[in-house]
Structure 1
Amino acid sequence: MQSAPVLPPEPVNAVTGGIDWARDDHAVSVVDAAGHQVRRFTVEHSDAGLRSLLTQLTRAGVGEVAIERPDGPVVAVLLAAGLTIVVISPNQLKNLRGRYGSAGNKDDRFDAFVLADTLRTDRARLRPLIPDAAATVTLRQTCRTRKDLVKHRIGLTNQLRAHLAIVFPGAVGLFADLDSPISLAFLDRFDCQDRADWLTVKRLSAWLRSVGYCGRADPAVLHARLRAAPRGLGGDQGGANAQITHALLEALRVLRTQITALEAQISEQLALHPDAPIFTSLPRSGTVRAARLLTEIGDCRARFPTPESLACLAGVAPSTRQSGKIRAVTFRWGADKQLRDAVTDFAADSRRANPWAAHLCDTAIARGHDHPHTVRILARAWLFVIWHCWQDGVPYDPTRHRALQALLTLPEAARAA
């Protein structure tokens, strides 16, 4: 197991740097060992500006830089130059401003100084950034882009559903999913109430055969659903609204095509990743879910020296606050939301394939926890298992999962209790 990376007791050349990232330019501050700002400048967000940034940091003797984000062109340039990067989140920076005054005003140059001085004073708490491998970063970007497109697809489907509820209600509940290929094909051919009125059971059956419908629902049942639904708009008004329907259908098709292309890319990239067997071995992880877990956890083992540190960053460990006799255990708001989403998505579905996970869920529900809390409890338990597999570099093996095997040895009545 790798030990967590730490900063040396004293900064390189007794100076530290801070960079306040912005879209067009970046404010930079250099602080000496006494906490005095010895240099302050601004560089443009351009190739020439980033080269100037490196030149001026080198002249000032800066070997360590604090910044608010762990990625991007600025971080890439600094890492390539061999500088040590320390990430201080925007939420932390907001609270740190109070050290230097009560106004709390946002100023880029002042924030750069706060970052540099915090790197000087709080070295024991801060950890240097160790970037993930290029394969992990690329896979992470692909997974996040797919997730964003899925979100857009869901929003567009809801927009189409709301539109059809007014102009053509019969098409809304006709098939299981409004954005499924068969549903989109139906709306392409029968985009308004007038065209749907032409359908009989025989004609609908013939059209379904022509498009290769799987036949899960009988054509007579589908036709009955169309007839039972409220009538939509007809005539010129129905035809005009059909143009809106086709516009939404085309946008949905583009999204579905690009999501499918990204899923193929995720599958290919995951197959080539050395950590893939660890995450694909988890129950009901699949391809996309395994890829998300892998990329959000990363491949730097030193980043999470304990399973507790991973659970806290994922936001599935509760936050305890205590003052005097008052003790409150609450939801952990400060977390990596991408990591939390990936872990809870996996945990929520794992109970369908793993008796241990199902037992933990049933127990939590019996104690009165709601569904989100139950999923976080299960996700925290899974992270302890995943962390050990990840640190040891071995796939998940149910036969070596002691809690699962202990549960399986119990009588059926004891498991249900």
Structure 2
Amino acid sequence: MLFVGDDWAEGHHDIEIMDASGRALTKARLPEGVEGIGQLHGLIAERIGPDADPEQVLIGIETDRGPWVAALVAAGYRVFVVNPRQTYRFRERFSPSGAKSDAADAHVLADMVRTDSHQLRPVAGDSELAEAIKLLARAHQSLIWDRQRLVARLRAQLRDFYPAALAAFGEELAATEALDLLGQAPDPDKAMKLSLAKITAALRHAGRRKIDERARKIQDGLRSEQLRLPAAVQQAYATTVRSLVAMTATTAEQIDYLERELTERFHEHPDSAIYLSQPGIGVVLGSRVLGEFGDDPDRYAGPKARKNYAGTSPVTIASGCRSTVNARYVRNTRLIDALMRQAMAALAGSPGARAYYDRQRARGLPHNAALRHVSNRLVGILHGCLATHASYDEATAWGHLHRGVRGLIP
């Protein structure tokens, strides 16, 4: 058996190879890419032999993505993903002073897989399609967050010099017609010259209803009296607004493009029908949840393991006579965001989820805590559906609430 610690950086990897007794056999700094992975294979082959089983090599690394990790998995090595927080705690065994170096971290990672591989999470064996869905879903969500930040900046700029535009568009500042009209008239002077025909055309292009009424309302809002800034300052603000409008519009176009690609890939996955059968889940949320959970059937030992990974299950801290139960805050933020959105939507679409939520509220729990309980239950239901290859059934999932006994789905 060989145990390898891989402390990765953007351009290189610090490697330590250790034997079963904990003795360091070799240390090296390898370049990223084909050259580096080839050198690593050579170092391992020198010490284990070319005919040995690759599963005799255990590798600890602090990431589960990228071509380097994919190459390690493809070679047949047993690769374990180590949380940096675990590495930090384990490092204290070797360095109480807090000293740190990349080579020392490689030693820590090698020793961790030597002594605690049974406690570590191996790299999931997800399909290529699931990995592609995860990447598209993350990119789609990141662009949505970027658009929200851009709209917030646009709103701040308009509030400082052109509040009439905020009054005219209200909460629909990110709407297609608002961006179109602000691009044509980014300041009060140009807005005064904006004709009703152009406003009507923008609304028609955006597919709005009651076009004439909305057009007059927008025109009246844009032409309302307001305090003015000096011409040079107003022009500077207008230039900034035009730039923010262009970036927001482009981001919206790319969000739509990614959503089309995401929808196509999601429907190709064999588990997509099971995800879409869950209450509160559509294509976008289903893609996010599938991507973050993965589709490796052996990744989660049971519903509890899936709930722990999701971050919906509580954490118990017990010592002596004291015991407290807290929410998990160290978790996959993208996954918990999607699951909480699902739980919120499920309150309207699932009588069982609504009854379960009302029960938690009756216990005195605040809204977010009660919603997290619903989400935790829905993760267990999803696990049961995936394990049995069955679609969601309201009676099976929530029947225990009426029978007074635990249902079939955990």
TM-score (norm 2): 0.89
Q: 2:155 aligns with which of 161, 181, 186?
A: 161
Q: Which runs of 5+ in 2 are unaligned?
A: 49-55, 404-410
Alignment correspondent of 1:182: 177
Q: Which residue of 2 aligns with 1:9?
A: none
The correspondence of residues 350-389 of structure 1 with structure 2, limited to 5 A, is 350-389=346-385
Alpha carbons 2:306, 2:379 under 8 Å: kept: yes
Deviation, 1:324, is 1.0
Q: CA deviation at 1:405?
A: 8.2
Give the counterpart letter for 2:266 in structure 1. Answer: L
Equivalent position to 2:82, from 82, 85, 88: 88
1:304 aligns with 2:295: no
Q: Measure, in 1, the Cα distance between the counterparts of 2:225 and 2:114.
A: 69
- The alpha carbon displacement at 1:356 in A equals 1.7
The aligned counterpart of 1:215 is 209
Aligned to 2:345: 349
Give the number of equivalent residue pairs: 390
SS in 1 for 2:324: strand
2:186 is aligned, of 171, 191, 194, to 191
Q: Sort the Cα spacing of 1:210 and 1:33 in 2 relative to 1 into closer, same or farther, 3 A.
A: closer
Structure 2 counterparts to residues 102-251 of structure 1, below 5 A: 102-175=96-169, 176-198=171-193, 203-204=195-196, 206-211=197-202, 212=204, 214-216=208-210, 218-226=214-222, 230-233=226-229, 235-251=231-247
Q: Distance in 2 between matches of 1:332 and 1:237?
A: 48
Matched, 1:318 2:303: no
Structure 1 residue aligned with 2:47, among 60, 80, 95? 60
**Structure 1 counterpart SS, 2:349:** coil
Letter of the 2:318 counterpart: Q
> What residue number does 1:43 align with?
30
Q: Distance in 2 between matches of 1:325 and 1:24?
A: 50
Amino acid in structure 2 at the alignment position of 1:380: N
Q: Provide closer, same or farther for how the CA distance between residues 273 and 35 of structure 1 changes in structure 2, counting only shifts above 3 A.
A: same
Letter in 2 for 1:307: P
Q: Displacement, 1:237?
A: 3.9
Alpha-carbon distance in structure 2 between the residues aligned to 1:232 and 1:286: 47
1:220: Cα distance to partner? Answer: 4.5
Normalised by the size of structure 1, how large is the TM-score?
A: 0.87
Provide the alpha-carbon RMSD of the alignment.
Answer: 2.2
Q: 1:1-16 to 2 correspondence within 5 Å?
A: 13=1, 15-16=2-3
How do 1:215-294 and structure 2 match up within 5 A?
215-216=209-210, 218-226=214-222, 230-233=226-229, 235-294=231-290
Deviation for aligned residue 1:369? 2.6
Q: Structure 2 CA distance, aligned partners of 1:139 and 1:127?
A: 22
Distance 1:127 1:191 in 2: 53
**1:82-105 alpha-carbon deviations (Å, 9 max, x no partner):** 111111111111111122231232
Query: Residue 233 of structure 1: CA displacement?
Result: 4.0
Moved more, 146-155 or 332-341: 332-341
Counterpart Cα distance in 1 of 2:161 and 2:148: 20
Tell me, which stretches of 5 or more residues in structure 1 are unaligned?
Answer: 1-12, 408-417
Amino acid at match of 1:16: F
How many Å apart are 1:366 and its aligned residue? Answer: 3.4
Cα drift, residue 141 of structure 1 = 0.4
Query: Aligned pair in 2 of structure 1 residues 123, 241: CA closer, same or farther (>3 Å)?
Result: closer
Q: Which residue among 319, 325, 330 is the counterpart of 2:326?
A: 330
For residues 107 and 186 of structure 1, do their structure 2 counterparts lie closer, same or farther at Cα, with a shift above 3 Å needed? same
Match of 2:51 in 1: none
CA distance in 2, matches of 1:264, 1:229: 43
Kindly indicate whether the alpha-carbon contact (under 8 Å) linking 2:17 and 2:26 is maintained by their aligned counterparts in 1: yes
Residue identity in the other structure for 2:383: W
Shift of 1:26: 0.7
CA distance in 1, matches of 2:353, 2:224: 43
1:42 counterpart SS class: strand
Amino acid at match of 1:374: A
Q: CA, structure 1 residues 230+60, in 2 after alignment: closer, same or farther (shift >3 Å)?
A: farther
Instruction: Please list the CA deviations of residues 61-97 of structure 1 after superposition, one character each: whole Å capped at 9, or x if unmatched.
Output: 2622111111212211111111111111111111111
Give the distance between the partners of 1:269 and 1:124, measured in 2 at CA: 34
In the other structure, the counterpart of 2:390 is: 394
- How big is the shift at 1:404? 8.0
Tell me which amino acid in the other structure corresponds to 1:167.
F
User: Does 2:326 align with 1:339?
Assistant: no
Q: Which moved more, 1:118-127 or 1:321-330?
A: 118-127
What is the DSSP-based 3-state SS (H/G/I as helix, E as strand, rest coil) of the residue aligned with 2:14? strand
2:356 partner letter: L
Task: Give the conservation status (yes or no) of the 8 Å contact 2:280–2:344.
Answer: no
Aligned counterparts of 2:184 and 2:110: Cα–Cα separation in 1: 63
What's the % identity of the aligned pairs?
Answer: 28
Measure, in 1, the Cα distance between the counterparts of 2:294 and 2:33.
29
User: What's the counterpart of residue 5 of structure 1?
Assistant: none
CA contact (8 A) 1:193 1:234 kept: no
Q: Deviations over 1:374-411 (max 9, x none)?
A: 2211110101110101111222132433438839xxxx
Counterparts of 2:5 and 2:132 in 1: how far apart (Å)?
A: 27
Query: Residues 284, 333 of structure 1: CA spacing in aligned structure 2 closer, same or farther, 3 A cutoff?
Result: closer
* Alpha carbons 2:60, 2:82 under 8 Å: kept: yes
Residues 97-142 of structure 1, C-alpha deviation per residue, up to 9 Å, x if partnerless?
A: 1222312322111111111112111233234323210001011001
The Cα offsets for residues 148-171 of structure 1, whole Å up to 9 and x where unpaired, read as: 111111000000000001121111
Matches of 2:232 and 2:9, distance apart in 1: 52
